[in-house]
Amino acid sequence: VSIYLVNGIKLQGQIESFDQYVVLLKNTVTQMVYKHAISTVVPARAITMPHENEREAA
């Protein structure tokens, strides 16, 4: 993913873990990013989300 911070910095890596307040982003090192500092999260590749009626049937 690419994570854009509110100050314009772009971070790239894989989301290793997250909780209510932080995201752990792993690249060559693991960085802890506070969620309140995140502006946008962009997936590295296209993702598909199930439609609402498909979730209800499951």
Q: Where are the domains of the chain?
A: 2-57
Residue 38: predicted pLDDT = 98
Q: What is the pLDDT along the chain (58 residues), one digit of tens a residue?
A: 999 999 999 999 999 999 999 999 999 999 999 999 999 999 999 888 887 766 555 5
pTM of the model: 0.79
Among 28, 42, 31, 34, residue whose Cα is nearest residue 7? 34
> Virtual CA dihedral for 27, 30, 35, 41, nearest 10 degrees?
10
Contact by Cβ (8 Å): 24, 16: yes
Question: What is the fold, at CATH topology level, of the domain defined by 2-57?
Answer: SH3 type barrels. (2.30.30)
